[in-house]
Amino acid sequence: MRTPDGAVTIVLSLRHSERPAAPERLPTSNIMFYCDDLARTYEELKARGVQFPQPPVAQPFGWWSLFQDTEGNRFALTPREAS
């Protein structure tokens, strides 16, 4: 995937081993996507069948959520502006 301005490119690949066991603490991701409205984006993606190991939740740093693709890769989702 590439941003419209070409400044950022993300390459996703299939996992070649089984997914590790889920951590016992709050799940994390090294990739974060920003959205304009976290609650609305969460509802839209969930309605399309996207899996959310962590629905939107307030954290000390602001609102945050976590979704995953069909291979189990996890991605953080947060609003652009602090809520």
In this structure, are residues 1 and 9 in contact, taking their beta carbons and an 8 Å threshold? Answer: yes
Joined together, the tokens standing for residue 35 give 């959205």
Q: Give residue 80's pLDDT.
A: 83
The CA-based angle 57-38-29, given to 5 degrees, is 60
Rounded to an integer, the average pLDDT of 8-33 is 63
* Inter-residue contact 79 to 35 (CB < 8 Å): yes
What's the token pair of residue 16? 């070649």
**What whole-number percentage of the chain has pLDDT above 70?**
75
Which domains occur in the chain, in start order? 32-79 (3.10.180.10)
Q: How confident is the model at residue 31 (pLDDT cuts 50, 70, 90)?
A: confident
